[in-house]
Amino acid sequence: MGDYTNMSAYYDAIMTSGYYDYQRIVDQLLQPCSPQDLLEIGCGTGLILEEIAKRNTDIQITGIDLTQSMLDIAHDRLQSYPNIALSLQNITTLQLNRQFQMAFSYGGVWYFVIDQVKEPMLVSHLYSESDNHAGLRCLADHISAQGHLLLGTQGPHFNYETTITNGMQYSQVIEPSEFGFTKHYYLKDCTQTVMAQTVQYRTYRFQDALELLASYGLHYEASDLSAEQLFIGFKKC
């Protein structure tokens, strides 16, 4: 599973340069219902959690991440919200001693890629098959009966380069691998490379992904699979 220590200092600048639309993400996240408590899997620096807390201070929110430097930034950002708790956790050994009405991941541990030409696929930051099973088992244990899991969607991945808000050049290069793909992230200040990060991702065909999630009691709630849909939902039953 990818550790984003190298990227953490630049993460906000990258993510707020048009990479994600946080207001729209939270609009759809809270659209079906407003849960009493929720868990974000892979909360990074807390950008989504902040947007949720701004709208509803009554929701008890927990964010987990594998990278301590990401959580340090999130803690500074979110310290004025007493309804948010942050925890350094590996999803494959997740232990929070509680359950949640809703869990979600948007670009975190798991997400779906929707391509109007090809069938959707599940993308996982966990490259090994055994880690995916361990992670989903732990996650399912932390979702209450009749609770919901929402996994974010993204468009097709491709190589590109862009200038981000701090003036640096961000780029990504994607290479196929045996069970998915490898993504190389780079950040340059003029000609100097200030950040380089490589992450391996495992992918699953859509039907295989649904069967994998269902094996842990997380059942697909059929929905529109268009590019406008930012989450695919599952219900624990």
List helix spans (H) across 82-235.
Answer: 129-141, 206-214
- Regarding the domain delimited by 5-155+201-236, which CATH topology (the fold level of the hierarchy) does it fall under? Rossmann fold (3.40.50)
Residue from 202, 81, 183 nearest 131 by CA: 202
The pLDDT of residue 9 is: 81
pTM passes above 0.95: no
Residue from 200, 15, 35 nearest 104 by CA: 35
Q: Considering only 17-31, 97-111, 188-202, which range has the smallest mean pLDDT?
A: 17-31
Domain assignments of the chain as residue spans, ordered by start: 5-155+201-236
Residue 32 banded pLDDT, cuts 50, 70, 90 = low
The pLDDT of residue 191 is: 86
C-alpha to C-alpha distance for 176 and 155, rounded to whole angstroms: 17
Residue identified by tokens 């050049």 is: 169
The pLDDT of residue 192 is: 92
Q: What is the pLDDT of residues 159-169, one digit of tens each?
A: 989 998 888 89
Coil vs helix vs strand at 205? strand
